[in-house]
Amino acid sequence: MNLALRDIRHNLGRFLLTCLGLGLLLGVALAMVGIYRGVVEEALSLAHGLRADLWVVEAGSRGPFAEASRIPGDVREAVARLPGVIAAGGVTFQTVEARHAGGPDAAPAPEPGLAEDWVRERLGEAGRQRIGTVLRLQVVGYEPDRPGGPPSIVEGRGIGRGRREMVADRGSGLAPGAMVEMGGVRFRVVGLTARAVSTGGDPVGWITLRDSQELQFRLTPPAARRAQQGGGGGQPQDTVNAVIARLSPHARVEEVAAGIRRWKHFAALTAPEQEVVLTRSVVERARRQIGLFTVVLLLVSAVIVALIVYTLTMDKMREIATLKLIGAPDGSIVALVMQQALMLGAVGFAGGTTLLLAAKDAFPRRVLLGPEDVGSFGLVVFGICLLASLLGVRYALRIEPAQALGG
Amino acid sequence: MRAPLVELVGVAKGFGEGEARVQALSDITLSAMPGEVVGLRGPSGSGKSTLLNLVACILEPDAGLLRLAGETVWQGRWAPGDLRALRREKIGFIFQFHNLLPFLDAIDNVALALTLNGVPLAEARRRARDLLDYLQVGKRASAMPAKLSGGEAQRVAIARALANHPRIILADEPTAALDSERAQVVMDLLRRVAREQSATVLVVTHDEKIFSRFDRLIGLRDGRIETETRPSTAEDV
Ligand SMILES: Nc1ncnc2c1ncn2[C@@H]1O[C@H](COP(=O)(O)OP(=O)(O)OP(=O)(O)O)[C@@H](O)[C@H]1O
Ligand SMILES: [Mg+2]
């Protein structure tokens, strides 16, 4: 005869209500875990997407994401000639406020799930209605046929030889055929990628390196432009933010990097080094902020579970005293309290997880939850419930059988 | 010669400290034999419940000697051993307020006492039903305690107290919630159990209508035994 279960069944409504509240709280805590994972994932998303084995940047900088880096575009040839390097390409990065400038009446092809409805509702059925909408884009300039392009096209095609073409991420809400205006120049969206975002979560748009250099030039204030050009004409320079290199599988990355570091004016970062820079530096504060908040939420959950279990036990004071009076051993009383705490945690966890998994795509930034995240969160909740029930257990064990007597 | 099941020698019990100290019981010496139904009467605050709770090992005496079923349970301190196991196996306790577990139906309230003693659940339920039938509340076996009348609940509680065939049955005003007819039924039942199982029954009561049902009636006043009578009309059932 399981007393914990029987007591819960007797007060089912109240138990479920408590579970609902705890479930919401645990759902929020789990959301924080997902947001945390999402921030890290998004920070690495672009670097991963570009599939660089080696980043060549300005000497003394840890660019191009963490710090500004400007190097001459022709460095790519020098890098490409190094033994072990298969291909090298110059890339530029700039964050641009682009303007939607019309295009086919294609409905946006946004993220799957809830977001789809959300975008439809907000942006209307036709692309036409979105003319003038400001889009924040992370624009990547690259040379077609060299490293630096979009990882994979999920709709439309890649950038051809022609100019003023763009491959944009689906997250921008742009559809193939749409026109985008940046720095007074119009680009036609020819293809889409999925889940390519900047470290800040902005969707990425790829254009050719030449277009991007022109754009960079146009977006620079005239005074700065003159200074850069040494007062000279109106032509953009062949400057890039980084050169990315792919190595042959047999090449030793460290050796190639060491070779580049010996060159004056340049620094080299391997892919793992870039990852460290991205997670430890670029999103460090966001990561710590969210991490800390997750811990706070878990502590709050622990306190709340402890309070709930404590009150549940206090409400059963008389029954527990009666159990002791009719000779129930301490073990069965501890089991009663702990099992209820665990059932509470289990139902709350299941509810919170279901809720979050259903809602996670509605978040503006990525909420990333793998089975292992959910699994370890479940273990943490289990531990919290066990710990939190100790207070109730202590109370239950201190109840005197004599407390069953009297009115 | 048969040995007494309940034996108290010079037992005292007080509550509180200093000014607020209340001497609830002083120098209580009494013993009760198997098959005997003993009544405890006296004005409110005279120490009846305290005496019962001492015998149930719910309260610890301050002085004296307490012996149950031939074993010394308290003399200066508790004898080594599991008090709760002792209560489970030797003592049946009937409360003034029935104290049924609100989340178990009538039959499981009784069966629980049996499963605590290691009886398998199915067997425990079968025996619980027999007991409820015997106490004429079999029809209410699957009712929750909140849905039982005072008399029904009290009889379920009695069934629970009797489930493990305890040698010592303690009842604190078991008939307070019952009409006089039901009260007589309960008393008859306790007498029958005492006879059939050679158990000792100790009953605290205010109820003059059932005084005649006791083998012996002990009167308490201010924590001392004042009178001891043998109601002559007591008869076997
Ligand atoms: N836990 C306790 N703490 C302090 N004093 C107590 C406690 N229990 C009983 N007393 C005191 O001990 C005395 C005897 O109490 P007891 O409950 O045994 O009386 P009683 O004869 O059962 O009375 P009633 O007929 O009202 O039930 C009373 O003065 C009471 O106030
Ligand atoms: Mg009393």
| B65/A contact by beta carbon, under 8 A | no
The pLDDT value given to residue A331: 92
Predicted ipTM? 0.86
pLDDT digits (tens, 9 = 90+) for A75-105: 888 887 888 888 888 889 888 888 877 765 4
Tell me if B1 is assigned to some domain: no
| B96/A contact by beta carbon, under 8 A | yes
The CATH number linked to B192 is: 3.40.50.300
Residue B207 reports pLDDT greater than 90: no
- The encoded tokens of residue A58 equal 């300005």
Residue A379 — very low, low, confident or very high, per pLDDT cuts 50/70/90? very high
The pLDDT value given to residue B220: 94
Domain coverage including residue B206: 33-49+82-229
Question: If you take atom 4 of ligand 1, which residue's CA is the nearest one?
Answer: B15
Tell me if B185 is assigned to some domain: yes
Please state the atom number of ligand 1 nearest to the C-alpha of residue B51.
Answer: 18
Number of domains in chain B: 1
Tell me if B93 is assigned to some domain: yes
The pLDDT value given to residue A146: 85
Task: List residues near ligand 1 (CB under 6 A).
Answer: B 15-16, 22, 24, 42, 44-50
Preceding omega of A64 cis (within 30 degrees of 0): yes
| A323/B contact by beta carbon, under 8 A | yes
Task: Considering every ligand atom shown, identify the ligand nearest to the alpha carbon of residue B41 and give its number.
Answer: 1
Q: Please give, one letter per residue, the 3-state secondary structure of chain A.
A: CCHHHHHHHHCHHHHHHHHHHHHHHHHHHHHHHHHHHHHHHHHHHHHHHHCCCEEEEECCCCCCCCCCCCEECCHHHHHHCCCCEEEEEEEEEEEEEEEECCCCCCCCCCCCCHHHHHHHHHHCCCHHHHCCCEEEEEEEEECCCCCCCCCCCCEECCCCCCCCEEEEEHHHCCCCCCEEEECCEEEEEEEEECCCECCCCCEEEEEEHHHHHHHHHHHCCHHHHHHHHCCCCCCCCCEECEEEEEECCCCCHHHHHHHHHHCCCEEEEEHHHHHHHHHHHHCHHHHHHHHHHHHHHHHHHHHHHHHHHHHHHHHCHHHHHHHHHCCCCHHHHHHHHHHHHHHHHHHHHHHHHHHHHHHHHHCCCCCCCCHHHHHHHHHHHHHHHHHHHHHHHHHHHHCCHHHHCCC
Model's pTM, two decimal places?
A: 0.76
Best residue for ligand 1 mutational test, from B48, B54, B208, B221 (most atoms within 8 Å of Cβ): B48
pLDDT digits (tens, 9 = 90+) for A274-312: 888 888 777 778 888 888 988 898 889 889 888 998 998
According to the per-residue pLDDT averaged within each range, which of A104-113, A160-169, A237-246, B128-137 is highest? B128-137
Tell me if B11 is assigned to some domain: no
Residue A77 makes CB contacts below 8 A (sequence gap 6+) with: A88
Q: Residue B111: its chain A contacts at CB < 8 A?
A: 1
| A11/B contact by beta carbon, under 8 A | yes
The pLDDT value given to residue A121: 52
